[in-house]
Amino acid sequence: MVSDAKIGVKTSPRLTLLPLVALIFYEVSGGPFGVEDSVKAGGGPLLSLLGFLIFPLIWSIPEALVTAELATSFPENGGYVIWISSAFGPFWGFQEGFWKWFSGVMDNALYPVLFLDYLKHSFPVFNHVIARIPALLGITVSLTYLNYRGLHIVGFSAVFLAGFSLFPFIVMAVLTAPRIRPRRWLAVDFRKVDWRGYFNSMFWNLNYWDKASTLAGEVENPSKTFPKALLGAVILVVSSYLIPLLAGTGALDSPSVEWSDGYFAEVGMLIGGAWLKWWIQAASAVSNLGLFEAEMSGDAFQLLGMSEMGMLPSLFASRSKYGTPTISILCSATGVIFLSWMSFQEILEFLNFLYAIGMLLEFAAFIKLRIKKPELHRPYKVPLQTFGATMLCLPPAVLLVLVMCLASVRTFLISGSVIILGFFLYPILVHAKERKWAQFSTERPSPAPAIPSNAGVEGHSVASQLPLQDEDHEASMSLLSDISYSKRDIGSSEMSKIGPDTPGIPLVH
């Protein structure tokens, strides 16, 4: 065992339960900002309220359970890229990383749009393109700079931000209590239901539970903390949607057509007056700041992680003097700028399509690993056998396929182009690596020690690159050792012989 002291590693504080709950909350939700469209698309409050009661059962909880099992089996920051590579090989691991990164960039493009949609209720000038485009550009550049400086959600307290974002809605719920008429919750006009918009809104507001897996390597005692944090976050997210919707739709007779993104600010005005409206807008600003910073940080560090694994050129792992991945941040910010001119619903549909494909692959990997590696130590295991685990994944898989089938022709074309691009990128990068057209990492940088040149393996596996931090890591090493990221790596029959005790491949605990 090589101690941190011997390799000069400074141990960073571990994420505990409450901060992890807040971080998952921001990865998934950030508050009820953006759920208003579900009332409009659903032709009234009924379908929206039913959706946020039923969808968590068939979507959020299964995804959270799958994430809990795989994240605790592989408590490393590679997250879902490692899961897919373990089950299906590095080609599909790269595709998963590419789709999730592109989907994340699309998701991040929503937050400046949402911010202005709330602001335009007080400043109508942002309804006009001449003011909206420069504002979107300015917001994106400013928040990107904050991310470059390392000012992200962890740095300035995710717990405080979550509290600040949700507190005005608690006040709003108290103020509306005497005015609520339950019959208003039952209103629905099926002639006005936009099923595509409805399912996309539901799906977007309840996904990204797997994003937390990229933090698994930073969690204290992940086998116990991660499942509890996911459960707490599910309850917090669903409550943050249902309470404001029950309050707003139960107290007001507003037509469903008025419920578009940003409308909660107007609800605050009608219920409490200008002070509540401004408070909700301030909460929206803070929430979108946290969402943007968390998402961009996750996207950028995902590129950095893929670079450290040898999937992308080393350039993507370069860091600024603040320790942030400069090129990866710029790459993500460029995508956000190009997408910000699109409407909320357009961005929503594109990112949902790509995310759905990635999640289908994750569910497949979950089942494949149950079959392929039944002996894998799973600190947290979904209490179902392989057949039951398959049945658990079936309803959310059907929902994913439904969301994809409802997509427009334009979404099929654009998403199809992104998928084809990923298929071409992988062999190009492998060729570039072999021809040495660009520098690729062959070892994971600090805190893991360098792999000795006499290791006897030309292309190092992830097992030889990822540092182990506790006994949970040992459980996953037999599976991690199967992953190879170079076309020239040794064959699978030889790789299967490599394990934690293989001479010449030191592992750090």
Mean pLDDT of the residues in the chain: 78
Is 6 inside a domain boundary? no
pLDDT of residue 14 exceeding 80, the answer is: no
Domain that holds residue 291: 17-435
User: Where would I find the beta strands (DSSP E) of 389-502?
Assistant: none
The mean pLDDT of 11-36, rounded to a whole number, is: 79
Specify whether the CB–CB gap between 109 and 330 falls below 8 A.
Answer: no
| Per-residue pLDDT at 221 | 80
**Taking a C-beta distance cutoff of 8 angstroms, is the pair 490, 436 a contact?**
no
Q: How far apart are CA 202 and CA 178, in angstroms?
A: 29
What integer pLDDT is reported at residue 458 of this predicted model?
34
Residue 224 lies in a domain: yes
**Mean pLDDT throughout 31-56?**
92
Q: What is the mean pLDDT of residues 189-216?
A: 84
| Mean of pLDDT values over 119-143 | 77
Judged against a pLDDT cut of 70, whether residue 311 lies above it is answered with yes
Q: Is 441 domain-assigned?
A: no
Phi, psi of 325 (to 5 degrees): -80, 95
Residues 6+ apart with CB under 8 A from 239: none
pLDDT in tens, 323-378: 777 888 888 888 777 776 666 677 778 888 888 999 999 999 999 999 989 988 88
Write the CATH number for 155. Answer: 1.20.1740.10
Asked if residue 485 belongs to a domain, the reply is no
**Rounded Cα distance, 418 and 414, in Å:** 6
Residue 252 domain-assigned? yes
Lowest mean pLDDT among 139-153, 293-307, 328-342: 139-153
327 close to 316: Cβ distance less than 8 angstroms: yes
Give the pLDDT confidence of 226-266 residue by residue, as tens digits: 888 889 999 999 999 999 999 999 999 889 889 987 889 89
For residue 463, the model assigns a pLDDT of: 35
**Is the residue at 137 inside a domain?**
yes
Domain count within the chain: 1
In this predicted structure, the answer to whether residue 454 has a pLDDT above a threshold of 90 is no
**Segment of 105-114, 124-133, 349-358, 464-473 carrying the highest mean pLDDT:** 349-358
Where do runs of H (alpha helix) occur along 186-262?
195-205, 222-251
Q: Is 190 part of any domain?
A: yes
The half-sphere exposure of 501 on its side-chain side, counting CA atoms within 13 A, is: 0
User: In the prediction, which pLDDT does 150 show?
Assistant: 60
478 in a structural domain: no
The two tokens of residue 290 are 């946290």
Report, as an integer, the average pLDDT of 123-136. Answer: 77
pLDDT score for 237: 93
